[in-house]
Amino acid sequence: MTIKELLVGTALLSCSAIGVAQAPGAQANLTCIGSAEENRKVVLSFYNEALVGLKPRPAFERHMSADFIEHKPDVPEGTRAATASFLEQLIANVPQPKWTIERTIAEGDLVFLHARFSPAPGAPEYAIADVFRLSGCKIVEHWDVVAPPPKDQRNPNARF
């Protein structure tokens, strides 16, 4: 083994030990303490991959705990797999789904996310309020409230 090979090998081992060299898409949780800001980042990463990026299955596998609990009444069984399947079906059944994150609030192990959803360009938008509970930097529980587009917008203040 040459000096160059030895130095490269040592550098790679050092990077792996501190979580720098990772497989693509891997998430390092070596120093995760579950702060509100870390939890917000996990939820934003999940939401951007699953809904904005339209890839729910890999996002669920990466960010949800194995014993994840879904409270949405439309999701049979309320499990991680059932929820990923529900979102995959939703994405497949609407012409051009688009989720946009408006704001987040993080407090302890809870992250609130306010978003808008449009099933197609120019379609009226739904208002969504999601609440996520995290443990160990994994999403362990989810609740949501979905408000359809208003039939008559009497209030001059927009929902977003």
The dihedral of CA 21, 18, 27, 107: what is its sign? negative
pLDDT at 95: 86
Residues 6 or more apart whose Cβ sits within 8 Å of residue 152 = none
More confidently predicted of 112 and 95: 112
What are the CA-CA distances from residue 133 to residues 5, 9, 111 (Å)?
46, 40, 7
At residue 60, does pLDDT exceed 70? yes
Report angle CA 88, 89, 94 to the nearest 5 degrees: 105
CATH code, residues 31-147 = 3.10.450.50
Percent of the chain with pLDDT over 90: 74
The answer to whether 131 touches 105, Cβ cutoff 8 Å, is: no
Looking at residues 137-141, what average pLDDT do you find? Answer: 97
